[in-house]
Homo-oligomer: A and B are copies of this chain.
Amino acid sequence: MKSPLLVFTTDFGLSDAYAGVMKGVALSINPNLRFIDLSHQILPQNVAQGSFLLGINHKYFPNHAIQVAVVDPGVGTDRRPILLTTPCGSFVAPDNGLLSGVISSYLTSVSAEAGLVELPSPLTAVHLTNEKYWRHPVSETFHGRDVFTPVAAHLSLGVAPEDLGEPVSRVFFLPLPQPVTNGDEITGQVIYQDVYGNLITNILAETLYGLGNVAVLIKNRRVAGLSRTFNDNTHVNGDGLIALAGSHGYLEVAVANGNAGILLEAGEGEPVTAVTHSS
Protein backbone atom coordinates (compact mmCIF):
# COMPACT_ATOMS: atom_id res chain seq x y z
CA MET A 1 0.00 0.00 0.00
CA LYS A 2 1.58 3.24 -1.14
CA SER A 3 1.31 6.21 1.16
CA PRO A 4 -0.43 9.00 -0.80
CA LEU A 5 1.82 11.99 -1.41
CA LEU A 6 1.30 15.57 -2.60
CA VAL A 7 4.33 17.62 -3.68
CA PHE A 8 3.86 21.40 -3.86
CA THR A 9 5.58 23.93 -6.13
CA THR A 10 4.20 27.47 -5.91
CA ASP A 11 5.07 31.15 -5.77
CA PHE A 12 3.05 31.58 -2.55
CA GLY A 13 6.03 32.09 -0.26
CA LEU A 14 6.08 30.86 3.31
CA SER A 15 5.14 33.98 5.28
CA ASP A 16 1.51 34.03 4.23
CA ALA A 17 -0.75 31.11 5.09
CA TYR A 18 -1.49 30.07 1.49
CA ALA A 19 0.67 26.92 1.52
CA GLY A 20 -0.60 25.79 4.93
CA VAL A 21 -4.22 26.32 3.95
CA MET A 22 -3.83 24.10 0.87
CA LYS A 23 -2.57 21.33 3.15
CA GLY A 24 -5.49 21.82 5.52
CA VAL A 25 -7.93 21.50 2.61
CA ALA A 26 -6.10 18.40 1.35
CA LEU A 27 -6.16 16.63 4.74
CA SER A 28 -9.85 17.46 5.07
CA ILE A 29 -10.39 15.33 1.93
CA ASN A 30 -7.79 12.58 2.46
CA PRO A 31 -6.54 12.34 6.04
CA ASN A 32 -3.73 9.95 5.05
CA LEU A 33 -1.89 12.36 2.77
CA ARG A 34 1.77 13.24 3.19
CA PHE A 35 3.24 16.46 1.89
CA ILE A 36 6.57 17.59 0.50
CA ASP A 37 7.29 21.20 -0.42
CA LEU A 38 9.47 21.31 -3.52
CA SER A 39 9.46 25.10 -3.34
CA HIS A 40 6.99 27.82 -2.41
CA GLN A 41 9.50 30.47 -3.41
CA ILE A 42 9.26 30.53 -7.17
CA LEU A 43 9.61 34.22 -8.04
CA PRO A 44 6.10 35.73 -8.08
CA GLN A 45 4.29 34.94 -11.36
CA ASN A 46 7.50 33.48 -12.89
CA VAL A 47 6.00 30.55 -14.78
CA ALA A 48 9.29 29.85 -16.62
CA GLN A 49 11.25 29.48 -13.39
CA GLY A 50 8.65 27.11 -11.97
CA SER A 51 8.72 25.12 -15.20
CA PHE A 52 12.52 24.77 -15.05
CA LEU A 53 12.54 23.73 -11.38
CA LEU A 54 9.81 21.13 -11.93
CA GLY A 55 11.51 19.85 -15.07
CA ILE A 56 14.83 19.09 -13.44
CA ASN A 57 13.45 17.82 -10.11
CA HIS A 58 10.25 15.85 -10.65
CA LYS A 59 12.05 12.57 -11.30
CA TYR A 60 13.33 12.39 -7.70
CA PHE A 61 9.88 11.58 -6.33
CA PRO A 62 7.98 8.31 -6.13
CA ASN A 63 5.99 7.59 -9.30
CA HIS A 64 2.72 7.72 -7.39
CA ALA A 65 3.42 11.29 -6.24
CA ILE A 66 0.84 13.90 -7.18
CA GLN A 67 2.46 17.23 -7.82
CA VAL A 68 0.42 20.39 -7.22
CA ALA A 69 2.05 23.22 -9.16
CA VAL A 70 0.59 26.71 -8.85
CA VAL A 71 2.30 29.69 -10.44
CA ASP A 72 -0.86 31.15 -11.83
CA PRO A 73 -0.98 34.83 -12.75
CA GLY A 74 -4.06 34.05 -14.87
CA VAL A 75 -6.09 32.60 -11.98
CA GLY A 76 -9.80 33.12 -12.59
CA THR A 77 -9.41 33.73 -16.34
CA ASP A 78 -10.11 31.14 -19.02
CA ARG A 79 -6.72 29.43 -18.78
CA ARG A 80 -7.59 25.80 -18.13
CA PRO A 81 -6.83 23.81 -14.98
CA ILE A 82 -5.31 20.49 -16.08
CA LEU A 83 -4.12 17.12 -14.83
CA LEU A 84 -1.06 15.73 -16.61
CA THR A 85 -0.31 12.03 -16.14
CA THR A 86 3.27 10.86 -16.74
CA PRO A 87 5.32 7.77 -15.88
CA CYS A 88 7.02 9.93 -13.22
CA GLY A 89 3.94 11.13 -11.40
CA SER A 90 0.78 13.16 -11.88
CA PHE A 91 0.69 16.94 -12.09
CA VAL A 92 -2.23 19.25 -11.28
CA ALA A 93 -1.59 22.77 -12.56
CA PRO A 94 -2.84 25.68 -14.62
CA ASP A 95 -2.35 25.08 -18.36
CA ASN A 96 -0.09 28.12 -18.73
CA GLY A 97 3.23 26.48 -19.57
CA LEU A 98 4.16 25.61 -15.97
CA LEU A 99 4.47 21.93 -16.89
CA SER A 100 6.64 22.57 -19.97
CA GLY A 101 9.81 21.54 -18.16
CA VAL A 102 8.21 18.20 -17.33
CA ILE A 103 6.76 17.71 -20.81
CA SER A 104 10.00 18.60 -22.60
CA SER A 105 11.67 15.51 -21.09
CA TYR A 106 9.39 13.52 -23.41
CA LEU A 107 9.70 15.67 -26.54
CA THR A 108 12.20 14.80 -29.26
CA SER A 109 12.30 18.37 -30.51
CA VAL A 110 11.22 21.47 -28.69
CA SER A 111 9.28 24.22 -30.41
CA ALA A 112 10.79 27.66 -30.15
CA GLU A 113 7.36 29.26 -29.98
CA ALA A 114 4.93 29.34 -27.09
CA GLY A 115 1.62 27.72 -27.94
CA LEU A 116 -0.42 24.54 -27.91
CA VAL A 117 1.53 21.35 -28.55
CA GLU A 118 0.45 17.78 -29.08
CA LEU A 119 1.23 15.73 -26.00
CA PRO A 120 3.97 13.16 -26.67
CA SER A 121 3.34 9.53 -25.76
CA PRO A 122 2.90 8.25 -23.06
CA LEU A 123 1.66 11.51 -21.51
CA THR A 124 -2.06 12.12 -21.13
CA ALA A 125 -3.96 15.13 -19.87
CA VAL A 126 -7.42 16.04 -18.63
CA HIS A 127 -9.04 19.47 -18.59
CA LEU A 128 -10.36 19.67 -15.02
CA THR A 129 -14.01 20.55 -15.49
CA ASN A 130 -15.83 18.39 -12.95
CA GLU A 131 -16.66 20.89 -10.22
CA LYS A 132 -17.83 18.06 -7.98
CA TYR A 133 -14.20 17.62 -6.96
CA TRP A 134 -13.60 21.32 -6.24
CA ARG A 135 -14.01 23.21 -2.98
CA HIS A 136 -17.01 25.54 -2.96
CA PRO A 137 -17.49 28.45 -3.11
CA VAL A 138 -14.56 28.73 -5.53
CA SER A 139 -12.55 31.91 -5.04
CA GLU A 140 -11.65 33.69 -8.29
CA THR A 141 -8.18 34.37 -6.93
CA PHE A 142 -7.06 31.18 -5.16
CA HIS A 143 -7.57 28.08 -7.28
CA GLY A 144 -4.66 26.46 -5.45
CA ARG A 145 -6.97 26.13 -2.47
CA ASP A 146 -10.28 25.59 -4.24
CA VAL A 147 -9.46 23.69 -7.44
CA PHE A 148 -5.94 22.25 -7.71
CA THR A 149 -5.49 20.91 -4.19
CA PRO A 150 -9.00 19.43 -3.84
CA VAL A 151 -8.60 17.69 -7.22
CA ALA A 152 -5.19 16.34 -6.20
CA ALA A 153 -6.59 15.08 -2.89
CA HIS A 154 -9.48 13.31 -4.62
CA LEU A 155 -7.04 11.82 -7.14
CA SER A 156 -5.03 10.47 -4.20
CA LEU A 157 -8.20 8.73 -2.99
CA GLY A 158 -8.43 6.83 -6.26
CA VAL A 159 -10.77 8.99 -8.32
CA ALA A 160 -10.01 8.21 -11.98
CA PRO A 161 -8.53 10.99 -14.14
CA GLU A 162 -11.43 10.66 -16.59
CA ASP A 163 -13.87 11.49 -13.80
CA LEU A 164 -12.08 14.77 -13.14
CA GLY A 165 -12.81 16.30 -16.56
CA GLU A 166 -12.40 16.00 -20.30
CA PRO A 167 -9.38 14.43 -22.02
CA VAL A 168 -7.28 16.86 -24.02
CA SER A 169 -4.52 16.04 -26.49
CA ARG A 170 -2.87 19.44 -26.63
CA VAL A 171 -1.57 21.64 -23.82
CA PHE A 172 0.08 25.04 -23.66
CA PHE A 173 3.87 24.87 -24.02
CA LEU A 174 6.24 27.63 -22.96
CA PRO A 175 9.71 26.81 -24.34
CA LEU A 176 12.68 27.53 -22.12
CA PRO A 177 15.58 29.26 -23.86
CA GLN A 178 17.76 26.73 -25.69
CA PRO A 179 21.52 26.98 -26.18
CA VAL A 180 22.83 27.56 -29.71
CA THR A 181 25.82 25.69 -31.15
CA ASN A 182 28.08 27.49 -33.57
CA GLY A 183 31.15 25.51 -34.58
CA ASP A 184 33.17 24.96 -31.41
CA GLU A 185 30.98 27.31 -29.36
CA ILE A 186 27.84 26.63 -27.45
CA THR A 187 26.10 29.78 -26.24
CA GLY A 188 23.39 29.49 -23.63
CA GLN A 189 22.38 31.52 -20.64
CA VAL A 190 21.99 31.46 -16.88
CA ILE A 191 18.56 29.97 -16.26
CA TYR A 192 18.54 29.75 -12.47
CA GLN A 193 20.55 31.18 -9.60
CA ASP A 194 20.49 29.15 -6.41
CA VAL A 195 20.87 30.15 -2.77
CA TYR A 196 24.66 29.85 -2.93
CA GLY A 197 24.82 32.19 -5.91
CA ASN A 198 25.70 29.31 -8.22
CA LEU A 199 24.71 30.24 -11.77
CA ILE A 200 23.01 27.28 -13.41
CA THR A 201 22.98 27.43 -17.20
CA ASN A 202 20.87 25.72 -19.83
CA ILE A 203 23.95 24.00 -21.31
CA LEU A 204 24.08 20.26 -20.61
CA ALA A 205 27.44 19.52 -19.02
CA GLU A 206 27.63 16.01 -20.44
CA THR A 207 28.00 17.54 -23.89
CA LEU A 208 31.23 19.23 -22.70
CA TYR A 209 33.13 16.65 -20.67
CA GLY A 210 35.39 14.51 -22.79
CA LEU A 211 35.46 16.96 -25.66
CA GLY A 212 38.97 18.14 -24.92
CA ASN A 213 39.81 21.58 -23.57
CA VAL A 214 36.76 23.59 -22.60
CA ALA A 215 36.68 27.25 -21.64
CA VAL A 216 33.61 28.94 -20.22
CA LEU A 217 33.01 32.64 -20.89
CA ILE A 218 30.69 34.82 -18.81
CA LYS A 219 30.68 38.59 -18.34
CA ASN A 220 34.13 39.04 -19.88
CA ARG A 221 35.60 36.41 -17.60
CA ARG A 222 37.09 33.16 -18.84
CA VAL A 223 37.27 29.92 -16.89
CA ALA A 224 39.64 27.41 -18.49
CA GLY A 225 38.67 23.81 -17.87
CA LEU A 226 35.87 22.10 -15.99
CA SER A 227 36.12 21.30 -12.29
CA ARG A 228 34.83 18.12 -10.77
CA THR A 229 33.80 19.56 -7.37
CA PHE A 230 33.44 22.98 -5.72
CA ASN A 231 36.83 22.40 -4.05
CA ASP A 232 38.70 21.15 -7.08
CA ASN A 233 41.27 23.93 -7.44
CA THR A 234 42.88 22.84 -10.69
CA HIS A 235 40.66 25.00 -12.89
CA VAL A 236 40.03 28.14 -10.85
CA ASN A 237 40.34 31.42 -12.74
CA GLY A 238 41.90 34.56 -11.29
CA ASP A 239 38.61 35.74 -9.81
CA GLY A 240 38.01 32.42 -8.03
CA LEU A 241 35.45 31.31 -10.60
CA ILE A 242 34.98 27.66 -11.51
CA ALA A 243 32.76 25.88 -14.02
CA LEU A 244 31.40 22.43 -13.35
CA ALA A 245 28.54 20.00 -13.89
CA GLY A 246 25.80 20.78 -11.39
CA SER A 247 23.79 18.12 -9.61
CA HIS A 248 21.12 18.17 -12.35
CA GLY A 249 23.63 17.76 -15.18
CA TYR A 250 23.73 21.38 -16.34
CA LEU A 251 26.85 23.51 -16.55
CA GLU A 252 27.19 25.78 -13.51
CA VAL A 253 29.46 28.75 -12.84
CA ALA A 254 30.38 29.00 -9.16
CA VAL A 255 32.86 30.31 -6.60
CA ALA A 256 34.12 27.80 -3.99
CA ASN A 257 32.85 29.03 -0.60
CA GLY A 258 31.62 32.18 -2.34
CA ASN A 259 28.79 33.61 -4.40
CA ALA A 260 29.23 33.78 -8.18
CA GLY A 261 26.00 35.74 -8.66
CA ILE A 262 27.27 38.55 -6.42
CA LEU A 263 30.86 38.41 -7.73
CA LEU A 264 29.73 38.68 -11.36
CA GLU A 265 26.66 40.82 -10.71
CA ALA A 266 24.92 38.32 -12.94
CA GLY A 267 21.66 36.43 -12.73
CA GLU A 268 19.01 34.80 -14.88
CA GLY A 269 19.40 35.57 -18.56
CA GLU A 270 23.13 36.27 -18.48
CA PRO A 271 24.76 34.83 -21.64
CA VAL A 272 27.28 32.02 -21.14
CA THR A 273 29.48 30.51 -23.83
CA ALA A 274 31.40 27.24 -23.71
CA VAL A 275 34.25 26.96 -26.21
CA THR A 276 35.70 23.55 -26.96
CA HIS A 277 39.08 22.89 -28.49
CA SER A 278 39.81 19.25 -29.21
CA SER A 279 43.12 18.42 -27.58
The residues of A with any CB-CB pair to B shorter than 8 Å are 2-3, 5, 7, 9, 11-21, 23-25, 27-28, 31-32, 34-41, 44-45, 53, 56-57, 60-62, 65, 73-77, 139-142, 145-146, 194-196, 228-232, 244-247, 252, 256-257, 259
Q: Across the interface, do A17 and B231 meet the contact criterion of CB distance under 8 Å?
A: no
12 contacts between A and B (CB under 8 A): A7-B20, A17-B39, A20-B38, A21-B38, A24-B57, A31-B62, A45-B196, A75-B229, A139-B246, A141-B229, A141-B246, A141-B247
B195 and A61 within 8 A (CB):
no
In chain B, what residue has the closest Cβ to A195? Answer: B13
Q: Identify whether the interface residues of A are mostly helix, strand, loop, or mixed.
A: loop
B145 lies within 8 A of A247 (CB) = yes
Please measure, in the bound complex, the distance between the C-alpha atom of A256 and the C-alpha atom of B12, giving whole angstroms: 15
A229 touches which of B20, B77, B196 (Cβ 8 Å): B77
Nearest to A249 among chain B residues (CB) is B139
Given contacts A14-B41, A73-B230, A230-B75, contact A32 B3 (CB under 8 A): yes
In the complex where A73-B230, A195-B44 touch, is A60 in contact with B24 (Cβ < 8 A)?
Answer: yes
The CA of A40 and the CA of B39, in the complex, are separated in Å by 13
Which residues in B have their C-beta under 8 angstroms from that of A257? 45, 73
Contact B39 A15 (CB under 8 A): yes
Q: Which residue of B lies closest to A59 (CB)?
A: B24
- Cβ of A21 and Cβ of B60 under 8 Å apart? yes
Query: Are A57 and B244 also in contact (CB < 8 A) when A27-B62, A141-B230, A229-B75 are?
Result: no
* Contact of B60 with A31 in the complex, beta carbons under 8 Å: no
* Complex alpha-carbon distance, A259 and B27, angstroms: 32
Task: Give A22's nearest chain B residue, CB to CB.
Answer: B60
Contact B37 A20 (CB under 8 A): yes
Q: Give the residues in chain B near A196, CB-CB below 8 Å.
A: 44-45
Chain B: CB-nearest residue to A25: B60
For A36, the chain B residues whose CB sits under 8 A away are 20, 23-24, 27, 35
A20 touches B39 (CB 8 A): yes
